[in-house]
A and B are shown apart, each in its own frame.
Chain A
């Protein structure tokens, strides 16, 4: 009975679980989406001016890729995101480690975190514009505000999951505070910190592009607004498509890097 069941299940599972499975599923998904997209336009459910067909969007790809403003804007947005994530991670991890090390700092830290993280960063854009103007400083400072909290929370959480026995080992080896942080606490918290950083990358992208849509002088968002105002919806969609693809690639690269950096987690 058991073997019969396995024999029936065998080929079935190989089809979907094998190497061909995910690719086939992905292709099916994309094709269905394109068909639905085409259909929405052809049946006049959505006007062409709001949603150009997939073909016209694909044809607009060379336009946007050949636009120097778009490429320079993309570099600017990417730089703002990268600076935000690097600076934000360093600050949040350092603050998280210190706040976790001293019992008297733990409660005040959580109060501050919970108060400030509930203020949406995009609501601060007007204030950012008033203080920093429309350049890089404004984008980065608003985005920094948004990314610090998730990384800080994940750092504090990660430190709290440190195995007490490993702390005892470190003490028994007579390591000082710095060495304990570097060799025990930080690696113990690393899986959680990296999750926070991955979330922060997504948030940073959203906030940076939001600042550009709402007034920043340079960036992909700024260029997309210009195409919207010039009534070139197919180019706008092409740009969004590119951003989506870049985002997806970045995300999968981050997941892969994360797995390499904390190889021990899956074996613990």
Chain B
């Protein structure tokens, strides 16, 4: 299902105090596509994602999931939040964190159970359902958060800087995990990150935002072959070229393109 962002602006505050964080932004994430949203801090990339999630209201413009305007958190859309330690429920076991995510789906007990087990298996946590989040490493906790997003079998998954809090090796593992489950669950992904390499490595398309106020600076197609590989993909000349292009757009937005 397409996610359409149609001339969306977002301001905080009113009157003279108002601060515009995103201005007249339009973008379409097409069905099955993996789109990275990258930009400097303060460019409104998380704000944009939270509006797509139906958790924030645009000041003007409209967001649509398929043909339906998004007015609140829609069915069939999941969010993986930035900080697993603040997004999981520490008073619930891992299994219960996943099962309670299904309450709005109104499924039978048996169907719930098999979805939860399948999601845990997909993220490499089979047999860990009885653990509590606080008994797990950061990487494992973020796997739980990803499993919780997948268990509803969403058509769209929004990820808000999901790997910002984990170490580099765990990060690489989780990146490859997301690329794998994305196909397994046939899910459309919008992926906010501030890591330029990650934005290129993951995506079919990169939307680069500029700051003050937030707006789209570039929309780049990533023509790297899949499946991606942490070593091979990053050796590809096209990776290096895209990476420096995004770097220039994010870090030195006022200099003209050199190629």
Contacts and interface: CB of A to CB of B under 8 A. Distances in A.
Given A187-B91, A267-B134, A172 B79 contact: yes
A44 interface: no
Contacts of A262: 91
A172 B90 contact: no
A165 B100 contact: no
A183 interface: yes
Interface in A162-210: 163, 165-166, 168-169, 171-175, 179, 183-184, 187, 190
Interface string A233-253: 000000000000000000000
A268 interface: yes
A166 B100 contact: no
Interface string A127-165: 000000000000000000000000000000000000101
Contacts of A104: none
A55 interface: no
Interface in B39-93: 50, 53-55, 72-73, 75, 77-79, 81-83, 85-87, 89-92
Interface in A248-268: 262-264, 267-268
Contact of B101 (A165, A168, A173, A263): A173
B132 A166 contact: no
Label chain A's interface by main secondary structure: helix
Contacts of A168: 50, 55, 79, 81
A262 B92 CA distance: 11
A23 B72 CA distance: 59
Interface string B116-133: 000000000000000011
Contacts of A267: 90, 134-135
B134 A264 contact: yes
Given A179-B103, A264-B132, A172 B78 contact: yes
Interface residues of A, number: 20
Contacts of A179: 103
B134 A175 contact: no
Contact of B104 (A165, A175, A183, A184): A175
B55 A175 contact: no
A264 B90 contact: yes
Contact of A268 (B54, B75, B79, B85): B85
A197 B89 CA distance: 23
Given A165-B87, A183-B89, A184-B89, A174 B55 contact: no
B153 to A, nearest CB: 14
Contact of B134 (A163, A173, A183, A268): A268
A188 to B, nearest CB: 8
A267 B101 CA distance: 23
Given A171-B55, A173-B103, A183-B100, A166 B134 contact: no
A169 B97 CA distance: 11
B87 A174 contact: no
Given A183-B89, A264-B90, A172 B100 contact: no
Interface string B96-114: 0000110110000000000
A163 B84 CA distance: 12
Given A166-B89, A184-B89, A264-B91, A172 B103 contact: no
Contacts of A190: 91
A262 B90 CA distance: 10
A172 B53 contact: yes
27 contacts: A165-B87, A166-B86, A166-B89, A168-B50, A168-B79, A169-B89, A171-B72, A172-B73, A172-B78, A173-B100, A173-B101, A173-B104, A174-B72, A174-B73, A174-B75, A174-B104, A175-B103, A179-B103, A183-B92, A264-B91, A264-B132, A264-B134, A267-B90, A267-B134, A267-B135, A268-B85, A268-B134
Interface of B: 50, 53-55, 72-73, 75, 77-79, 81-83, 85-87, 89-92, 100-101, 103-104, 132-135
Given A175-B103, A190-B91, A262-B91, 16 more contacts: A163-B86, A165-B81, A165-B82, A165-B83, A166-B89, A168-B50, A168-B55, A169-B89, A171-B72, A172-B73, A172-B78, A172-B79, A173-B100, A174-B75, A183-B92, A267-B135
